[in-house]
Amino acid sequence: MSFTTLAKKYRLPLAALFIAAPIVTASAIASSEVDMLTEDDLLVEIPIVSSVTHMEQTLPQTPASVTIIDRQTIQASTAVDIADLFRLVPGFETYYVNGSRRGVTYHALGDEYPRRLEVKVDGRSVYESLFSAVTWSTIGIDLDDIEYVEVVRGANGAADGSNAFLASINIVTRSPLLDTGLSFRSQVGSSQTRNAALSYSGKIGAVDHRTTLSVRGNDGFDDTQWRGNLLDIKDDSESISLTSKGLWTPSSSDNIEFQIGATESDLWIGEDEYFNRDMSYQYQYLNWTRLNKQGNKLQLVIYHNDLDLDDDVQAQTISEIIGVDDSSPFWPLGPVPDTTIFDGSHRGESERWDVELRTTIQPADNLRAVTGAAVRYDRVSSQSLFDTLNSLTETSYRAYTNLEWTQSEQLIVNAGVLLEDRDSTNVYGSYRLATNYLLSEDHILRFALNRSFRAPTLLENNQIGVVRYVNPQECSPDSTAPECNPLFRDLILDAGSISDADIKNEELKSYELGYAGYFMDRTLSLDMRLYYEQLRDVISERRDVYPDLDNFVNIRDNTDTLDIRGIEFQTLYKPSNRFLLRAYYSYSDIDGESLYRSAPEVEFRDLDVRSLKNTLGLLTSYQLDSGISLSSMISYNSGKSFFFDGSKLDGYTRVDLKAAKSWQVDRSTVDVSLTVQNAGDSYQEFYDSIHFETRYILGFRVTLP
């Protein structure tokens, strides 16, 4: 009997063992191990965050709800890639669109390309204008390179601008000062998972650096029965990344951080028909920070992102697509002959330059402020998306101020405002006002008010996704051939998605009541968020009539109106470095409607079914005396339908398990782990054709001085 067969046969008993072990052994902490606790175990510091206002603040000072995924949690988690980490955050949806693409969103508006979530790596936005979304496969950051992740749950437009419409994420990578030497990691397992990374931390002259070469690959999901037919799912992926982070301290007051990176990806994407996509991604990043004697800080941040893609689309003729030969009486184009309309290659490019100057000052003992100004240049090109070979560009400007006023020992007031100006829209502003009332040192109440705007992206403003008739031959000026008639030369055979000529900004108003509490010498924390959000003029797609072969088109427009009410809880219990418990629960309810069809008859659709009403998660981890660490992650998502794309899916409960062992060999460290993702029945996350089966991942890591 094979290992896989044995594992599947006994996976549920094993799941019970893994789940129970960390919880049961917690009793040892309360009894026999209590004498082993050190002062460091009990004097737990409240984490410092900077993503909410660009000022360093403790959680009781922040004007928003924040989840911090620290290094201990990352190591204890069952995550295989970065997107998996957000299964630990209340209200977040993480799903496979297919084996090569991931989607991440916050409690609403999830689709094939979620586009209302700001994601940054060390402050550098990785949001791509070409897709109006994050392409997770090109980030190029290995899990072992991450020090911690800050997740702002709620609109953060007052600090980060339009993209932070629903929430924002900042992934903070490890400093080169924290490690020295060589590290090798690998993961192999189900779905032909094959991941490996080689990192080196050292010093070149006065510069400390950490450089990582990583490769990732998998064969995606298995073939399945779908709508009565066998579906051949071809969604495998391969990528290779090289990243480097350097630190240089030329003086006692100056610090310069720079990063470079490049990723080459080979992906197969689609729903029922798949095509190959090659992506080349690169970035450069510079952050200069100066501190003066008064403690004020000046920062200059410059970065450049560039993405090139090439879709290998199979060449097809009109007759192959519609199934009618041009000699048939049912041929829809009359005298116009058949021709090839896809040339076999679709190219695209997305480029961004961003320069930001930021200063943090403390004009009074009880007042701090951060003020910044930035300019951003975006350029995109794609004939298949914009019906032109020319590039489209946009220059945007933003200026912001965030204030923190400690009115008394009990009351802290935060206020922030951001103004943005884009080529495609007038000046608009987002603001936030929050008051934090300290009932005591360990118990805080927060009330926050947000109003944010999200401007349409280059894609949303300019998309012209049409398929035109391509003449099979050159036409002379006096040609009388039907296909040379100017009417047919401009004939649109199919219109996919086209942007409305007058798309407005999306608008969000949110009201939040929060509570943060610390118990048991701060080894236990509790965070609660009660919110009400009003979303207006949300951009989606409506169907309209159009004079092409199928007589309809999808129009990008301000079609949706939503009211979202919800509550979230998260708790963290860390009585020692050997035990960790994280738990969360979230509930959200959507009341809204979408203009689904504007012609020939107007049709609205209820958006309540698009709400992921209930999610919960429980991560437990414990390190035994033998050095073996046991972890379990239970997550539950209720059923929902995705916006526009995707499927109507049932709810599911997923159980992940992990066992890890570490050895110290001289000055080197060796780690081995076994991760079981979804130790139970298969379930679906986005398309109903994609079934997530049980996966087994074996990990290995060695660190040399």
Sequential DSSP letters for 177-239: TS--EEEEEEEEEGGGEEEEEEEEEEEETTEEEEEEEEEEEE--PPPEEETTEEE-----EEE
- Does residue 25 have a pLDDT over 80? no
Containing 652, the helix (H) or strand (E) segment is strand 652-665
- pLDDT one-digit tens code per residue, 365-420: 999 999 999 999 999 999 889 988 899 999 999 999 999 999 999 999 999 999 99
- Does residue 39 have a pLDDT over 60? no
- pLDDT one-digit tens code per residue, 474-526: 667 677 776 676 666 668 888 989 999 999 999 999 999 999 999 999 999 99
Which of these, 545, 562, 646, lies nearest to 597 by C-alpha position?
545
For the segment 647-674, the average pLDDT, to the nearest whole number, is 91
Q: Tell me what pLDDT residue 344 has.
A: 60
Burial class (CB in 10 A: 0-12, 13-18, 19+), 435: middle
- Does residue 19 have a pLDDT over 80? no
Strand 552-576, strand 492-499: pairing: parallel
Superfamily for 3-312+345-456+503-704? TonB-dependent receptor, beta-barrel domain (2.40.170.20)
For the segment 205-232, the average pLDDT, to the nearest whole number, is 89
Q: Quick check: bond before 600 cis, omega within 30? A: yes
Tokens for 664, please give them: 């110290």
- pLDDT one-digit tens code per residue, 551-594: 899 999 999 999 999 999 999 999 998 999 999 999 999 999 99
* Spacing of C-alpha 256 from chain mean position: 27
- Does residue 647 have a pLDDT over 50? yes
Task: Fill in the amino acid letter for 351.
Answer: E
- pLDDT one-digit tens code per residue, 661-702: 999 888 899 999 999 999 999 998 888 888 899 999 999 999
What is the Cα–Cα distance from 267 to 317, expressed in whole angstroms? 25
Contact (CB, 8 A) for 698 and 671: no
Q: What is the dihedral of CA 207, 210, 215, 221, to 10 degrees?
A: -130
- Does residue 4 have a pLDDT over 60? no
Q: Tell me what pLDDT residue 314 has.
A: 79
- pLDDT one-digit tens code per residue, 535-547: 999 999 999 999 8
Dihedral pair phi/psi, residue 355, rounded to 5°: -125, 125
SS3 content of the chain, % helix, strand, coil (to 5): 15, 55, 30
Report the alpha-carbon angle 502-503-505, nearest 5. 135
State how far the alpha carbon of 75 is from the alpha carbons of 49, 85, 197, 580, in Å.
20, 11, 16, 11
CB atoms within 10 A of CB 120: 20
Q: Tell me what pLDDT residue 42 has.
A: 37
Over 292-347, what HEC string results?
A: CCCCCEEEEEEEEEEEEEEEECCCCEHHHHHCCCCCCCCCCCCCCCCCECCCCCEE
- SS3 assignment, position 34: helix
Q: Tell me what pLDDT residue 32 has.
A: 41
Q: How confident is the model at residue 108 (pLDDT cuts 50, 70, 90)?
A: confident
- φ/ψ bin of 61: left (φ > 0), alpha (ψ from -120 to 50), beta (otherwise): alpha
- Comparing 51-60, 233-242, 314-323, which segment has the lowest mean pLDDT? 314-323
What is the Cα–Cα distance from 266 to 276, expressed in whole angstroms? 7
Give the total residue count for the chain: 705
Report the alpha-carbon angle 682-686-688, nearest 5. 60
- Does residue 473 have a pLDDT over 90? no
- Does residue 78 have a pLDDT over 90? yes
* Spacing of C-alpha 356 from chain mean position: 23
- Comparing 2-16, 151-165, 392-406, 511-525, which segment has the lowest mean pLDDT? 2-16
Contact (CB, 8 A) for 239 and 101: no
What is the Cα–Cα distance from 685 to 690, expressed in whole angstroms? 7
Of residues 460 and 111, more confidently modeled: 460
For the segment 12-28, the average pLDDT, to the nearest whole number, is 47
Containing 647, the helix (H) or strand (E) segment is none
Q: How confident is the model at residue 45 (pLDDT cuts 50, 70, 90)?
A: low
Q: How confident is the model at residue 40 (pLDDT cuts 50, 70, 90)?
A: very low
Q: Tell me what pLDDT residue 24 has.
A: 45
